Amino acid sequence: MRQAERRAAMRRVASALAHAVGTPLNVIAGRAALISQAPHDKRSEHAANNAAVIERQVEALVERIQHMLKWLRTDDARRELCAPAGMLEAAGC
């Protein structure tokens, strides 16, 4: 039961992290895309290169965060059938 509670807490942390980090990363990626898609006469080549670097780094960061969140949300606990009395004994009751 304790392990299930820990996993539930980890899932809540994962959800909070996804929300807290996801929105700013979307804004950063969107702004970089706007810079890189601006008409050639409105931007410098240097700005376009920097925007492309930002987009690649955001994508790499999103991939790492998604991998971590997937791990946090996965329930890898083994389930075993047991008698209620055995569970109470194992819990120290």
Read off the pLDDT of residues 24-74 as tens digits, 9 standing for 90 and up: 888 898 888 888 888 777 678 888 888 889 998 888 888 888 888 787 777
Question: Rg (Cα) of the chain, in Å, rounded?
Answer: 22
pLDDT at 21: 85
Domain that holds residue 27: 2-90
Taking 70 as the threshold, does the pLDDT of residue 77 lie above it? no
Domain count for the chain: 1
DSSP per position, 12-61: HHHHHHHHHHHHHHHHHHHHHHHHHHS-GGGS-HHHHHHHHHHHHHHHHH
Read off the pLDDT band of 75 (50, 70, 90): low
Q: CA 85, CA 89: separation in Å to the nearest integer?
A: 6
pTM of the predicted structure, to 2 decimals? 0.57
Q: Which has more confidence, 77 or 24?
A: 24
